[in-house]
Structure 1
Amino acid sequence: MDLETFTPGSGRLEPRAALRSDAPALDLNGTWRFRLSPTAKAPEDFARPDYDDTAWDDLPVPSHWPLHGHGAPAYTNVSYPFPIDPPHVPGENPTGDYRRAFDLPEGWTGGRLRFDGADSFTRVWLNGHELGFSTGSRLPFEFDAGAWLRPGRNVLAVRVYQWSAASYLEDQDMWWLPGIFRDVTLTRSAADVFVHASYEDGRGTLSFESSGGPVTLSVPGLGVSGLQPGAEITVEAEPWTAETPRLYDAVVTSPEETVSLRIGFRTISIQDGVLLANGRPLLLKGVNRHEFHPEHGRAVPYETMREDVLLMKRHNVNAVRTSHYPPHPDFLDLCDELGLWVIDECDLETHGFGQVGWRANPTDDPHYADALLDRMRRMVERDKNHPSIIMWSLGNEAGVGRNLAVMADWARERDPSRPLHYEGDRSCAHTDVYSRMYASHAEVEAIGRLAEDPLDDPELDARRRAMPFLQCEYAHAMGNGPGGLAEYQELFARYPRLAGGFIWEWIDHGLAHPAYEYAYGGDYGEPVHDGNFVIDGLVFPDRTPSPGLLDLKKVFEPVTFEFADGVVRVVNGYDFADLAHLAFVATVQAEGETVVEQRLDLPAGGGEAKVPDAPGGAGERWLTVRAVLAADQPWGPAGHEVAWGQTLLAPAPSRREGGAAPGLVRDAGDIVAGDSAFDAGSGRLVRLFGLEVEGPRLDLWRAPTDNDRYGGLEGKWRALGLHRLTHRVDAVELDDALTVRTRVAPAATDLGMRATYRWSVSGDGALLMSLDIEPEGEWADPIPRLGVTMSLPRSIGGVTWFGPGPGEAYPDTGLAARVGRWTATIEELQTPYVYPQENGHRAGVRWADFGAFTVSGDPVFGMTARRWSTGELAAAQHRPDLVPGDRVHLHLDLAHQGIGTATCGPGALPQYDLKAHRATLNLRFDRGTA
């Protein structure tokens, strides 16, 4: 077999829509017999019906064979794992042979064999006859099986080659996972229908196309029956939107079969450079979604697809880009049903050609024109009836070339109702929207103002300036982060030209692994890989939301709150829905304890409401107003929180008050204050209210985040030596207070920090620390953190604190954190990123009670507590590498460097850079409650 052919397939039937039919069908999923060969030259005698496969293994279909003990997965982001020499492929070409025997029901005649997805080059035999082959891994193909079916027992044989000329078209950022990973069906359905359902001025317009003989369409919910192909009618219909996903059940009847589908009336248009849905501006609050499951790879169960959509809806996501291939059709059904705007992306990426200057790129090679057009046709024909799909995307990161025009021209002719998307060509010569990846905030603002840098071609430049702009990828959600979300969203909301964007990406692609918990690139011994770059999602592999997703929910909130004296103004931020489905609850808390709670009455359009009167009293008081679902929705239960806002009602007094200060006394080698003590030589605190401690001492280092590493800050910090600071004590002075003068600096540089600690004791027995920090020398780059670290006995089990929570927060993240009283164990304070890194920082803490002692800020501090040191955290590469030690490591910080999104995109915005500067940290230590 010529695996180096440019031809996309042979023997296949014309592509058609994915439809639900009453025609007989046999589900051929299940246990198949399987054999893996190291090359493509294995004998083909296995296709004979009488072939003895008893020595073969069992393999489930759908699945990927590397996830069942046959070979191993491999991950690359950009690089091809084989030489770039199209259309040639390696001689070492893993080849999987499949066999499945099935019984044909009595009376069965005719039928089609349908494969919904097989990676990457697939040949099919039925009862020893070769039906043909197909490429295009994430797209369906069908063969006419009728002439070769037999009464009773039939044998289906399939050979799947991992590498082929088509593999050059499938260089998406994901695991390389061959196999039959979607459904296999024998069906007698042959129907193909294309329903057109537009919406304008309160009315829907309906028509349809169909292949074959006499066909009629009926929509009982609209009183439509017997509609003929090509006929057009106008009906009183409710529109479909992602916020109000109104669907109408329809049936298309022919003499051979009846198919059912769901119709949504909606019109997507572009006017004056603004993207519109049903005549209203559309703001996409989206995510990029790969198909992924930690045990099954891209063979995602239906329940998991539904979980994805429900999670998206519950976190205020309204759009999804199917990166970088069409998903299983069931996922699109769920988007129709539950409401998500979709950009459906073609199964095309040639990213690795960028590493050789785009030479021989298939996108510009006429030999590949038929293959690229074939992929576009199969996507559009399969998915054309989904109201959720608002754009077709030509592919991803495939450079530029003549074949894009071939794809775009065909798609516009076949379906002029949907705009075309493609990011890889800055000229937008073949698209209807201007799309970019990872543009900075400044560039996004310039584009919003129509002030972007011009193209060289004035005609193309004018055409592009008339287009809506979207970020098909931004805010790379890898590890701790992303930062800068709120600033992006403010720009999207401010400029009508900006249609929003899609976060990269939805899920960490960590494969379940017995030793590592979750594996990433290189964990299977791949010679070429891109490490943990595949761990870049808003949810962890088990679909637990990360702090990034919680922040995104806050940023994407469809309701906002504006507070004034005694009132709150509730603003409706939905594009299409009102607020009638929401209830509003106002809560007043003092020091995190609820003192008043009541429901607010608001009109469906939003407006002002009086907030509850709060009783007086001591302590910091906050008003929180929450918008929750008033009743169950298809995507969330009653009481689910959609949005919230918070305002300070009364600040707390200074927390350093404590009356007159008795002196500290020298006692042998210690300086003692009651049952607290300092080492007389170093001035270091060694006992705190009877608890053995070490520290606190100045700390400038943090375990680098992915953004620190990929953005270059870690390299600068390590080159400077911030991970190996030296501490010199210059003076320990005792009078009414203890003054400890130190200099903290890395070796091999004249940069340093003067750190002067002043300890005193309040009249009520609290220890008061004032730390003055003064940098020496020219610190050119941001520093990781500015604060102190100390260690505590392992018996410290948890903490209750007052301040933002419950989750982590950094200068440009933590948008989901609200001020309150929170409790967590030391273990619960950790964010279990698949690749361990800086995490768990609670910012803006007023006080924190560790049981044995309480620490308070004047006014606030940042807190991190772990059962491993920063050095151990920085050295870890997988979750199991972090083993609890004998100490609890507590960080009490003044400031942190921002997070940014520098794994892809900009680093932290300038206002979130932590520059070395003079600063003072004031802390109060009180005896604890335990």
Structure 2
Amino acid sequence: MHEPPSSGTLPYYEDVTPSTGALPPRAWWAVSDARRVNLGGEWRFRLSPRADAEDESFARPGYDASHWDLLPVPSHWPLQGHGKPAYTNVRYPFPVDPPRVPTENPTGDHLRTFDLPDDWPGGAAVLRFDGVDSCARVWLNGHELGTFMGSRLPVEYEVGGLLRPRGNVLAVRVHQWSAGSYLEDQDMWWLPGIFRDVTLIERPEGAVTDFFVTCGYDHATGLGTLRVDCEPAGTVTVPELGLDIPTGEPVIVPVEPWSAEEPRLYDAELATEGERIPLRIGFRTVAVEDGVLKVNGRRIQFRGVNRHEFDPDHGRVVDPETMRQDLLLMKRHNINAVRTSHYPPHPAFLDLCDELGLWVVDECDLETHGFQMVGWRGNPVDDERWTPALLDRAARMVERDKNHPSVIMWSLGNECGTGRGLSAMATWIRERDPVRPIHYEGDRSCADTDVYSRMYADHAESELIGRREEPALEDAELDKRRRAMPYVLCEYAHAMGNGPGGLSEYQRIFETYERCQGGFVWEWIDHGLRRRTPDGAEYFAYGGDFGEELHDGNFVCDGLVFPDRTPSPGLIEYKKVVEPVRIEGDAERGTVTVTNRYDTSGLSGLAFRWVYEVEGEHSDSGRLAVPDLGPGQSAEVELPRMPRIVRAGEAFWTVRAVLAEDTAWAPSGHEVAWTQFAAAQAPRGQRVHRGRPHSPRRVEGGLIVLGPGTFDAASGALRCLGASGVRGPALDVWRAPVDNDRGMARAPEDQLDRRWRQAGLHRMRHRVDGVTLAGDVLTVATRVAPAASDIGLRAVYSWRATGDRLRLDVEVTPEGEWPVPLPRLGVRMGVNPGVSEVRWYGGGPGEAYPDTRAAARIGRWTATVDELRTPYVRPQENGARADVRWAELRRENGAGLRLEGEPAFWFTARPWTTEALDAAEHTHELTASPVLWLHLDHALHGIGSASCGPGVLPEYHLTPAPAAFSFTFTALPEDASR
């Protein structure tokens, strides 16, 4: 590893000095009575392949850039047709030779000409950049202002003396690669550009230079302490509290506290001689006490997500309305916390968190993960020459965001290993803001932190940590200190593709052990970039789709919402698992137990409703009177004694907690929590099957007829059911591996995709050992096995027919020493296309798998075939419905097929084969086949989280074992009423 040359011998973009010419960092405020000019819009733009390809003449007034391209600002130039995006997770896409960067260094020159408003008063002014990736050099009217790095952090320059009433020329040279790039290896698209706001802000005489709002809350007395330190001195008014006080002096008053559940804000105003700034103040106190993280004296639990800033069309350019929609979607899915992975977000996002209520872990713009690939040699966080840059980044984060009540922890960064620079950052932050705890995951000793943070620790290890029985550190003092810390999973449940599995088991740990205070699912959104094929089909691109030399494929698509912000099944599951009200039914006692699992709120804002359904049809419903329980309290509530039962059959109670009134984030009636449980001693309806049994008989053409079924006499395969052609059913064990089956970051045993293919499960062969007719039964004996192996499955199909119903009994017996679990166990069959509607009675409405089924409730559901699939960015196994009792597939005229299972089964229907799904890399590569393929599964292997987290828990393994299951098929006639 080369030694960094001394400052002054390198160009500025390779200098470890963080910036030149910039003003000291300060707080951000959205508005004041000082004038502002938004300099966004159309800029002139020129892209060069190297940093030194062009001179600086473009920055001089009078330069003719009319032949340059137009580029919107904010934007990333690779998303505007200039160059291409690139994605890597860990690896730097350039040689690791800090602080040097390649000569091939795409450089964008930006020009903006602007006039001042007619009433601009002159005097001091600052030019503010909120985000430029990765290094910029700035000129105004030909005068160089300075250079800066720190892509997702603000920079300001004093420019008042350079401004003109008309024809101001702002020139910005932006380099894709710089010394700062070594500090910004954050598992995302490499996207250079001016991607946040550029603003000119008036600074009148006596205007606010900076201010720090401190609002503590004493939960024992209900009193809040307000102090606003400001330079220069001024006054603070809070009309609702009757306050008009000088800055710098504390005042204690009775207040209502701020929390993520009740984000109480007080409107205030800070006034100095030259400026008035509206404030929104929230009173809250954060502390680690007795090994527990508390806010306002109460233990909190993070039901969180990691959030990158992302838009499928604009990259990290995210407008305020999209930010708000993200937060509304989070709140509606019971998410209460955000870790700003791995950089401070746009400052407007934190304003919204204050307003709507989320706990925020604000993370510094820092990650050096790529040094892990070279054994952490040369890691900047352990090189004192980089420490000023690290401190600069810490200061710019803390100073910008210090006045937000939603920010309850500072995070030093992510995946940087360990080093002296991190300690220096922690020391500086504690001196500047001694109130908020400090987070960092990468140092197991927790020497610089106030919480014990881990990522992707599995359930067993997390349980040990919950009991404070984790393996000891060598340093006894550090070990003692860490054992006294709260435990947070800053990343867990990797939400890549189908999954994540195991959420319920994590939540049980969080709710069992006081020390375990929840975590943050990785992550909020898939970072797929929207693209279209030449014929107009939309899909989302990922790593490798832009010709990158190095890339990490679809690892960038690992969110709870798809790139277009459609909720994935994983988000629906997460909402159910982390719901803040636990409702548990006891049908024998005729009661439900309601437990308030909110951190700070009572239940007065919720209404409770019950529904009694028989065979999935509404029978009776009403309201349930539940007391206003405080956090952690429970109550047993009686259900109605005699619901009105209109018919016999399988019956279920469903009890729901919904918003009683409109809130800032959802309307009244929005469902917050629910439970469903079988009714006690419900009368069971017995389906009467009229018709005589049929006996199988051979007919011409090498066929066997059994009731409504026609079979191939040689293979025993069903060919027709009534007048409809059928393919199969035949035993099936293969699924198109999900991202979590790849086990990309885990132990070899979790790499199921590789192990399944090695075992040959994707190429199973079917041998017919006999087709026999005896009495009323057609029996087909088969063996299903892969080539080059002695493992296999004996499958015996026994067919019977009564009236218009055809029944299949399947018996499966494994043979040989199986080295792997099965992906699935059931039958696959093809039916005629043209199905317009699928109805089923069982789990729904959405997708579910053995360890992702908490959100599935029993009912009658209807969907189109297209609605049954889940369009994961990289196609994979999807769309199963759990606990299906029966399903009906109908064409427009009502004709179709009815399926019934004993026991209840997993139902999947899609217009392409598993093999086609397995082969596709993008959704547009899937072409509907002339057959609708059905999977009727007796059992499925779990999903897990092994794309980066733990694998499938043992209880969800589908271990080969003898099995028996049955299906009944009925051809449905045309419906004359349609």
Q: Does 1:614 align with 2:638?
A: no
Contact 1:105 1:152 (C-alpha < 8 Å) held by counterparts:
no
Q: How does 1:20-31 map to 2 (within 5 A)?
A: 20-31=31-42
Give the equivalent residue in structure 1 for 2:789: 749
AA of the residue aligned to 1:820: G
- 2:661 is matched with 631
Q: Which aligned pairs between 1:779-798 and structure 2 lie closer than 5 A?
A: 779-798=818-837
Equivalent residue for 1:569?
Answer: 593
Kindly report which structure 2 residues correspond to 1:438-837, keeping only aligned pairs within 5 A, or say none: 438-515=456-533, 517-564=539-586, 565-605=589-629, 607-612=635-640, 613-616=642-645, 617-649=647-679, 650=682, 652=684, 661-668=693-700, 669-710=702-743, 711-735=750-774, 736-762=776-802, 764-837=803-876
Alpha-carbon distance, 1:256 to partner: 0.8
CA deviation string 1:284-323 (max 9, x = no partner): 1100000000011101011100011000000000000000
After superposing the two structures, state which structure 1 stretch, 421-430 or 108-117, moved more: 108-117
Structure 1 runs of 4+ off > 4 angstroms? 651-660
SS at 1:505 equivalent? coil
Structure 2: which 5+ runs fail to align? 1-10, 744-749, 891-895
Q: Any conservation in 2 of the 1:547–1:814 contact (CA below 8 Å)? A: no
Is residue 901 of structure 1 aligned with residue 945 of structure 2?
Answer: yes
State the alpha-carbon separation in 1 of the partners of residues 255 and 107 from structure 2.
52
Verify the 8 A CA contact 1:704 1:838 in the aligned structure 2.
Answer: yes
Q: Which of 107, 112, 122 is the aligned partner of 2:126?
A: 112
CA–CA distance in structure 2, aligned partners of residues 114 and 715 of structure 1:
51
Deviations 1:870-920 (A, max 9, x none): 000000011101111100011100111100000011100000011111000
Distance in 1 between residues matched to 2:822 and 2:904, nearest whole Å: 20
Counterpart code for 1:758: S
- Cα separation, 1, equivalents of 2:683 and 2:809: 22
Q: Is the 8 A contact 1:191 1:210 kept in 2?
A: no
Does residue 411 of structure 1 match 2:429?
yes
Alpha-carbon contact 1:110-1:149 (below 8 Å) kept: no
Residue 893 of structure 2 is matched in structure 1 by none
Partner-residue secondary structure (3-state), 1:423: coil
Amino acid at match of 2:830: S
Take 1:202 and 1:729, find their aligned partners in 2: how far apart are those partners? 80
Instruction: Write the distance in 1 (CA, Å) between the matches of 2:909 and 2:221.
Output: 57
CA–CA distance in structure 2, aligned partners of residues 708 and 651 of structure 1: 42
| Counterpart secondary structure, 1:355 | helix
Deviation at 1:660, TM superposition (A): 5.8
Q: What do residues 124-143 of structure 1 show as CA deviations (whole Å, max 9, x unaligned)?
A: 10100001111100000000
Check conservation: 2:415, 2:442, Cα contact below 8 A. Answer: yes
Read off the aligned partner of 2:467 and give its amino acid letter.
Answer: R
Tell me if the contact between 2:612 and 2:653 (Cα under 8 Å) persists in the aligned partners. yes
1:609 CA displacement: 3.3
Q: Look up the match of 2:12.
A: 2
Residue identity in the other structure for 1:562: E
Residue 64 (1) aligns with residue 104 (2): no
CA distance in 2, matches of 1:625, 1:694: 42
Q: CA deviation at 1:272?
A: 1.3
- What is the identity, as a one-letter code, of the residue corresponding to 2:563? P
**How many residues are treated as equivalent by the alignment?**
928
CA distance in 1, matches of 2:780, 2:644: 45
Q: Does 1:122 align with 2:140?
A: no
Aligned to 1:160, which of 159, 162, 174? Answer: 174
Deviations 1:422-464 (A, max 9, x none): 0000000000000000000000000000110111111110010
Match of 2:351 in 1: 333
Letter in 1 for 2:957: D
Read off the aligned partner of 1:426 and give its amino acid letter.
Answer: R
- CA drift of 1:799 comes to 1.3
Q: State the AA in 2 paired with 1:738.
A: L
Name the structure 2 match of 1:379: 397
Deviation at 1:29, TM superposition (A): 1.0
Bigger mean CA offset, 145-154 vs 376-385 = 145-154
TM-score, normalization by structure 2: 0.94
Q: 1:202: Cα distance to partner?
A: 4.0
Q: What letter is aligned with 1:315?
A: H
Aligned residues of 2:217 and 2:225 also touching (Cα < 8 A):
no
- Cα displacement (A) at 1:838: 0.2
Question: Who is 1:854 aligned against?
Answer: 898
Q: Deviation of residue 676 (structure 1)?
A: 1.8
Q: Distance in 2 between matches of 1:862 and 1:653?
A: 22
SS at 2:618 equivalent:
strand
Q: Distance in 1 between matches of 2:598 and 2:76?
A: 41
Residue 186, structure 1, aligned to residue 200, structure 2? yes
Q: Does 1:876 align with 2:926?
A: no
Cα drift, residue 662 of structure 1:
3.0
How far has the Cα of 1:765 moved from its partner? Answer: 3.0
The answer as to 2:46 corresponding to 1:35 is yes
Q: Helix, strand or coil for the counterpart of 2:104?
A: coil
Q: 1:185: how far off?
A: 0.6
CA distance in 2, matches of 1:494, 1:262: 36
- Cα pair 1:220 1:249 within 8 Å, conserved: yes
Kept in 2, the 8 Å contact 1:655–1:924? The answer is no
Instruction: State how far apart, in whole Å, the 2-side matches of 1:799 and 1:890 are.
Output: 12
- Does the 8 A contact of 2:45 with 2:68 survive in 1? yes
Distance 2:346 2:929 in 1: 46
Secondary structure at the aligned position of 1:877 is classed as coil
Shift of 1:521: 0.3
Counterpart in the other structure of 2:311: 293
Amino acid at match of 2:757: R
Code of the residue aligned with 1:679 in structure 2: it is: D
Q: Residue type of the partner of 1:566?
A: G
Q: 1:918 to 1:70 in 2, by over 3 A?
A: same
Name the SS of the counterpart of 2:342 in structure 1: coil
> In structure 2, how many angstroms separate the alpha carbons of the residues matched to 1:684 and 1:64?
57
Distance 1:602 1:69 in 2: 58
Q: Deviations over 1:550-607 (max 9, x none)?
A: 0000011011112223222222111111111111111111111111011122221163
CA distance 1:695–1:654, change in 2 (3 Å): farther
User: 1:195, 1:206 within 8 Å by CA — same for their partners in 2?
Assistant: no
Tell me which amino acid in the other structure corresponds to 2:951: G
Matched-pair identity in %: 59
Cα-to-partner distance string for 1:528-571 (whole Å, 9 max, x where unaligned): 10000000000000100000000000011011112223222222
Tell me, which stretches of 5 or more residues in structure 1 are unaligned?
none
Q: Please state how far the C-alpha of 1:684 moved relative to its aligned partner.
A: 0.7
Equivalent in the alignment of 2:22: 12
Q: Any conservation in 2 of the 1:98–1:159 contact (CA below 8 Å)?
A: yes
Aligned 8 A contact 2:357 2:406 in 1: yes
Give the conservation status (yes or no) of the 8 Å contact 1:125–1:132: yes
Query: How far, CA to CA, are the matches of 1:202 and 1:543 in structure 2?
Result: 43
Deviation of the 1:657 alpha carbon: 6.4
Residues 710-768 of structure 1 deviation map (CA, whole Å, 9 limit, x = unaligned): 34101111111111111110111102200110001000001010000111112x43111
Question: Does residue 239 of structure 2 align to residue 220 of structure 1?
Answer: yes
TM superposition score normalised by structure 1: 0.98
C-alpha deviation, 1:653, in angstroms: 5.7
Aligned AA (1:29): G
